[in-house]
């Protein structure tokens, strides 16, 4: 292999595994490869791993950025034969086995793609321009900044109409992310903002959760969907079902039935898609630009390129013929399984096909209330909320991160307080990056 020093990675006789993306899938495969005699290179556009399931808590002032973001260099500090480079990927040259990035080129023996997904605005330009997605830390901070800033502007609003527009929040998408941020903002309205803004009439603030299907939490059972809907309504969230947003004009969210809702706080959790990776040829396009893989997570048509996590879609697992759910647990299990397969192949053994064991789904709707489904077991309420909290604490990286989040939750629970009500940086929304 000819040495390429653009990324200042030394050339050795060891096999080089290049991983693109340090999310749940990428992190899992790298950690499982630690004791292999390979050189491992991680390429990511950020220098940290983000615990995405708690992103909504940053957006709703419950957690700090540092509570859910963990620097790669700290995670892998002291690892031998591991290299991290912060860069965007531009394309793959499978013939020469080279990955091209904004920082230079890097050769690979094996390439593992784990770039995840970006928001899908379904071609609605005004929504893409004005809405706040919730896919990364910048998005979460933008939501927090905008909501808090609009509270400040509502104090000095000249008319009730302007005040209502500043306070209204429209959340598009009734999946877990939409339900969780809706519940969190409803509790902020009830417990926190009346103390911070005693002269603001909170009846002017409406939280709308808009879903295009006939129920929220479509990935869960109808019973859970109904109970979650009732919980949100009790919290004062106005849930609008069978309604699709078509435009955003003159400060108003416009829907397919002609209804308009004035809002300066438009949050988009409605859909995701994968960015196209130049150089990876697919026989047929997959839904959401996902990359088709075989039962071993090999990209179809390639022997040395793999895709895992949200980016991949596998039709070989007969229990999930339409692809596995795009969940953290799937990404983690695929990453671990791929690492085992690679180590087996290095020893001349056969690789084993991936089969996902359903670990259940869960969602929370504010304090004391969550829903858990695992096989035939379904339960909700306080016990489910404790289960949800325990599982998320366990998946956080590092003892320090677990302790900080745990005590933050205890403080918020006992004091009905959100201590991180800070408007950081410029109010103007930074340019969203949908790049890989």
The model's pTM is 0.89
Mean pLDDT: which of 234-248, 278-292, 362-376, 417-431 is highest?
Answer: 234-248
CA separation for the pair 96, 304 (Å, rounded) = 12
Q: How confident is the model at residue 412 (pLDDT cuts 50, 70, 90)?
A: low
pLDDT 10s digits, 67-85: 899 999 999 998 989 999 9
> In the predicted model, is pLDDT for residue 16 greater than 90?
yes
> In the predicted model, is pLDDT for residue 392 greater than 70?
yes
Least confident of 13-27, 177-191, 286-300, 404-418: 404-418
Using left for φ > 0, alpha for ψ between -120 and 50, and beta otherwise, residue 322 falls in alpha
Task: Return the percentage of the chain with pLDDT > 90, whole number.
Answer: 68
Task: With beta carbons less than 8 A apart as the criterion, state whether 274 and 312 touch.
Answer: no
Q: How confident is the model at residue 418 (pLDDT cuts 50, 70, 90)?
A: low
- Does 63 or 55 have the greater pLDDT score? 55
> In the predicted model, is pLDDT for residue 206 greater than 90?
yes
> In the predicted model, is pLDDT for residue 368 greater than 90?
no
pLDDT at 406: 77
Mean pLDDT of the chain: 89
Average pLDDT over residues 11-26: 94
pLDDT 10s digits, 89-102: 999 999 999 999 99
pLDDT at 217: 94
> In the predicted model, is pLDDT for residue 366 greater than 90?
no
> In the predicted model, is pLDDT for residue 234 greater than 50?
yes
CA separation for the pair 115, 275 (Å, rounded) = 8
pLDDT at 374: 84
């Amino acid at each position: 292999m000819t040495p390429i020093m653009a990324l200042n990675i030394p050339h050795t006789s060891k096999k080089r595994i290049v991983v693109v993306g340090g999310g749940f899938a990428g992190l899992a495969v790298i950690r499982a490869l630690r004791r292999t005699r390979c050189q491992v290179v991680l390429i990511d556009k950020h220098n940290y791993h983000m615990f995405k399931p708690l992103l909504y808590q940053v957006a709703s002032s419950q957690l700090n950025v540092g509570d859910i973001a963990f620097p790669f260099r700290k995670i892998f500090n002291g690892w031998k034969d591991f290299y991290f480079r912060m860069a965007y990927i531009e394309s793959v040259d499978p013939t020469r086995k080279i990955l091209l990035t904004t920082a230079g080129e890097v050769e690979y023996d094996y390439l593992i793609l784990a770039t995840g997904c970006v928001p899908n605005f379904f071609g609605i330009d005004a929504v893409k321009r004005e809405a706040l997605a919730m896919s990364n830390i910048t998005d979460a901070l933008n939501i927090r900044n905008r909501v808090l800033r609009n509270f400040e502007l509502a104090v000095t609003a000249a008319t009730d109409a302007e005040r209502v527009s500043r306070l209204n929040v429209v959340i598009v998408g009734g999946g877990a992310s939409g339900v969780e941020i809706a519940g969190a903002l409803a509790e902020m309205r009830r417990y926190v903002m009346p103390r911070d803004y005693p002269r603001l009439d909170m009846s002017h603030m409406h939280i709308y959760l808009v879903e295009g299907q006939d129920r929220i939490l479509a990935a869960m059972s109808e019973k859970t969907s109904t109970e979650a809907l009732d919980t949100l309504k009790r919290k004062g969230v106005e849930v609008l079902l069978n309604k699709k947003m078509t435009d955003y004009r003159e400060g108003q969210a416009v829907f397919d039935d002609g209804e308009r809702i004035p809002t300066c706080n438009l949050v988009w959790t409605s859909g995701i898609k994968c960015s196209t990776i130049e150089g990876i040829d697919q026989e047929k396009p997959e839904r959401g630009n996902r990359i088709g893989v075989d039962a071993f997570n090999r990209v179809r048509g390639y022997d040395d390129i793999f895709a895992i996590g949200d980016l991949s879609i596998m039709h070989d697992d007969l229990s999930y013929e339409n692809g596995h759910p795009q969940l953290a647990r799937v990404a983690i299990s695929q990453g671990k399984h791929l690492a085992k397969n690679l180590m087996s192949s290095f020893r001349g053994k056969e690789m084993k096909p991936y089969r996902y064991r359903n670990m259940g789904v869960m969602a929370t709707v504010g304090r004391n209330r969550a829903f858990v489904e695992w096989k035939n077991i379904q339960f909700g309420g306080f016990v489910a909320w404790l289960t949800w909290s325990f599982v998320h604490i366990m998946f956080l990286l590092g003892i320090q991160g677990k302790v900080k989040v745990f005590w933050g939750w205890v403080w918020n629970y006992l004091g009905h307080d959100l201590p991180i009500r800070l408007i950081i940086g410029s109010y103007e929304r930074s340019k969203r990056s949908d790049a890989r």
